[in-house]
Structure 1
Amino acid sequence: MTSRPLILITGLNGYIAAHTALRFLKAGYSVRGTVRSLASPNSELIHAALNPFSQSHAAALSLIEVPDMTADGAFDEAVKGVDAIAHLASPVSMSPASARSMMDAAVKGTTSLLSSSLRPSPSSSSSSALRSIVYMSSISAVYSPKPGREDHIYAEKDWNDDAEDQVKREGDQTPGYVVYQASKAAAERAFWRFAEEEEEEKNKEELLGGRRVAVVGMRALCPAPVLGPPLYLPEPIESLSMRAKDVYDILNGGEVPPFNTIRGTFVDVRDVAELVFNAVERDLASQQGGMQEKGARERYVVVGGQRASPRRIAEVLREKFPDRKEAIRPLVGEPVPEGQFARFDVSKARELLGREWIGFEQSVVDTAKVFM
């Protein structure tokens, strides 16, 4: 490519998105990031955090406002002229809401972007430069911590059907975390349905000048709960991601949450950003020099490690920060129970990463340093 590639990163002021933007800026990409409001404190904070890296690497950084990502045409302006998209924003939370509304918002937040980028209206005229879309799903779309499958090794073929079935049975009586899991599965399924429909449309097209129009690469990452140092401290501080919030709370004398299976896995935020970067690089490289190959269709189960209980976070903090030892509450309760960990085949994601995962202890320590 002769010009500097431009990537759109949705939800730029998010935890993972901030690190992803940093990775692309350091590589010389121009980054366009969506935020709900340009006037929000966190939009200003993320711009201030990233701008020095943009200037030092001579890479362009811009923010664009998308107040409602579920609205039709919400991303029409944002997608213009981009070479790649990292769709990291999500309207889904674990806050109380109707199960149906959460499911609908998750799906619409995905299909709205895909419609703008892959099926633009004549007025939006999305650029044909687009070669890669990376979608941030979740390990929650892959499995549910349901007893009876201890011998199963989860991989890219697996889906969390249990959560979606429970929402169908129980509706608004479904626990919030189960609705969240079902929403992530439903949103990723919508991503792949869209990919299939897009490929079917491309297969119907006539050959143009003896070569078929390239199909955009589409990849989904399904990460475990993410740990690692925030690039900036959000306002309010309570909006930290779950695992970083565990470190913050424990370091400052908060309760050590009990073990649960979901908190038993982790991946460092910098590893997730590297996976997004490597996925985009592969797609763009396959389209260089006039090549018009079929775009990749890849799903990745992303688990950097296990035995990542809150108690282990507290143990690392007490050992590595002895001056805070008195502030950290005594380690009570059950240590990591044996036999309560699902097993995952992460070889595909490990190959994409191209190096070893960042370890649990380093991830905890680097996170804590941000709060000191």
Structure 2
Amino acid sequence: MPTEAPVVVTGASGLVAKYVIGEFLKRGYQVRGTVRRMEKADSVRRAVMRLGCDPAGLSFAVADLNGDAGWDDAVAAAGIVVHTASPFPIAQPDDPDEVIRPARDGTLRVLKAATRVQVKRLVLTSSSVAIFYASGLPSGHIYSEDDFTDETRSDLTPYIKSKTIAEKAAWQFVKATSGAPELAVINPAFVQGPALDDDLSTSHDLFRLMARGLYPAAPRIRFPVTDVRDVAAAHAEAALRPDAAGKRFLIGEGHLRLYELGRILARELPDLRGKVPKFELPDVAVRALAVFDKRLRTILPELGEQKDYTNARVRTDLGLSLRSADDAVTAAVQSLRDLRLI
């Protein structure tokens, strides 16, 4: 694909988007990022400069997932669209549609606009949560890109449902629509790695909460981890490799317990040792506390779960080697201290 055609990255002010923008700039592409307000543009430029990139190759367009205005102009003349924008609240809303509607409808808005202007390929940032909550699987199942979450399950959070519904809607759209872009999907696990500024992702904000001593105990949950730098590289490879079309890519390397995140925080920043969780809470206590703390509701589906998975496809089809979970979390913690955020 020619470098003259811009790569469009939606939700440009998000952590994954900033790294994706940097990845394409390093590869010689012009990038157009979408933002809800142009006031966000300068912070994105500063972030990509932190990545060692020249922001001269970066431009911006205003478009919002909640409305049709601006999307045709945003994706005009693009060869590749990377759709990263999607709400990820740290506290789950009372009304699930607050996150489901913009995730699903926003994805379809971007796909429809990309179809109208004949974009060749769209890479969608989905999530591992669109894989890990299938129904009827046997104990010990090894999860892969062949698995899809059952969004009708009553125990899922609005966020998990939103990512699953949005991804399924994207696959249905490209299958049913003549002239739709080729679709590739990235399904990252819990995203860590270096923060770039004080506009923290929900994943990074967890450490700020720990550093304030808000969680003296940790729920007993374990989840796959991925480094944002690997996530960005996966988006670029999925956009550029011809045989990546029509595929999903589960991006993760290893697992960590929430308690272990606190241990890494204390190991890297000994002055915070007294703030991090001291022990793990029984599941019944977490469920009781979640009645009062909406942030805990986000992790309720993880209680008692042991999700083993394979990342073979990202290695074989995208040619990537992934950073370890410990390395990703260590980089996150160190970056937050460097930025004087913890």
CA contact (8 A) 1:92 1:183 kept: no
Distance 1:44 1:59, change over 3 A: closer
Unmatched tracts of structure 1, length 5 or more: 121-125, 167-174, 203-214, 235-239, 287-294
State the Cα deviation string for residues 138-174 of structure 1 (Å, max 9, x = none).
112112288974321222221111x4242xxxxxxxx
Partner AA of 1:318 in structure 2: A
CA contact (8 A) 2:210 2:277 kept: no
3-state SS of the aligned residue for 2:279?
coil
The Cα shift of 1:53 comes to 6.0
Distance 1:44 1:371, change over 3 A: same
The Cα shift of 1:249 comes to 3.0
Matched, 1:160 2:160: no
Q: How does 1:56-205 map to 2 (within 5 A)?
A: 57=54, 60-66=57-63, 68-91=64-87, 93=89, 94-100=91-97, 102-118=99-115, 120=116, 126=117, 128=118, 130-144=119-133, 149-161=138-150, 163-166=151-154, 178-198=157-177, 201=178
The Cα shift of 1:296 comes to 2.0
TM-score, normalised to structure 1, is: 0.76
In 2: Cα distance, 1:299 partner to 1:46 partner: 27
Aligned positions, number: 318
Matched, 1:301 2:233: no
State the Cα deviation string for residues 181-238 of structure 1 (Å, max 9, x = none).
112111111100111013xx35xxxxxxxxxxxx73310111112111112221xxxx
1:268 to 219, 227, 237: 227
Partner AA of 1:298 in structure 2: K
In 2: Cα distance, 1:71 partner to 1:185 partner: 21
The Cα shift of 1:5 comes to 4.0
CA contact (8 A) 1:28 1:57 kept: no
The Cα shift of 1:257 comes to 5.6
The Cα shift of 1:361 comes to 1.9
Distance 1:194 1:334, change over 3 A: same
Distance 1:73 1:149, change over 3 A: farther
CA contact (8 A) 1:252 1:327 kept: no
3-state SS of the aligned residue for 2:19?
helix
Distance 1:371 1:7, change over 3 A: same
In 1: Cα distance, 2:273 partner to 2:310 partner: 39
Distance 1:179 1:4, change over 3 A: same
TM-score, normalised to structure 2, is: 0.82
Larger radius of gyration: 1
In 2: Cα distance, 1:70 partner to 1:364 partner: 33
2:28 maps to 28
In 2: Cα distance, 1:148 partner to 1:192 partner: 22
The Cα shift of 1:318 comes to 2.5
1:37 maps to 37
Greater shift, 140-149 or 151-160, is seen at 140-149
Greater shift, 95-104 or 296-305, is seen at 95-104
Q: How does 1:248-263 map to 2 (within 5 A)?
A: 248-255=208-215, 258-261=218-221, 263=222
3-state SS of the aligned residue for 1:17?
helix
1:46 maps to 44
Distance 1:366 1:148, change over 3 A: same
Distance 1:156 1:329, change over 3 A: closer
Partner AA of 1:246 in structure 2: L
In 2: Cα distance, 1:141 partner to 1:347 partner: 18
In 2: Cα distance, 1:349 partner to 1:363 partner: 17
Distance 1:328 1:100, change over 3 A: closer
3-state SS of the aligned residue for 2:157?
helix
CA contact (8 A) 2:217 2:278 kept: no
Percent identity over the alignment is 26
Partner AA of 1:331 in structure 2: K
1:321 to 269, 275, 290: 269
State the Cα deviation string for residues 13-42 of structure 1 (Å, max 9, x = none).
0011111111111111111001111124xx
Greater shift, 75-84 or 102-111, is seen at 102-111
The Cα shift of 1:268 comes to 1.0
Partner AA of 2:131 in structure 1: V
2:312 maps to 347
Partner AA of 1:155 in structure 2: S
2:187 to 222, 225, 236: 222
The Cα shift of 1:351 comes to 2.4
CA contact (8 A) 1:74 1:112 kept: no
Unmatched tracts of structure 2, length 5 or more: 283-301, 338-342
State the Cα deviation string for residues 104-126 of structure 1 (Å, max 9, x = none).
332211110111110x2xxxxx2
Partner AA of 2:37 in structure 1: S
1:18 maps to 18
Partner AA of 1:144 in structure 2: Y
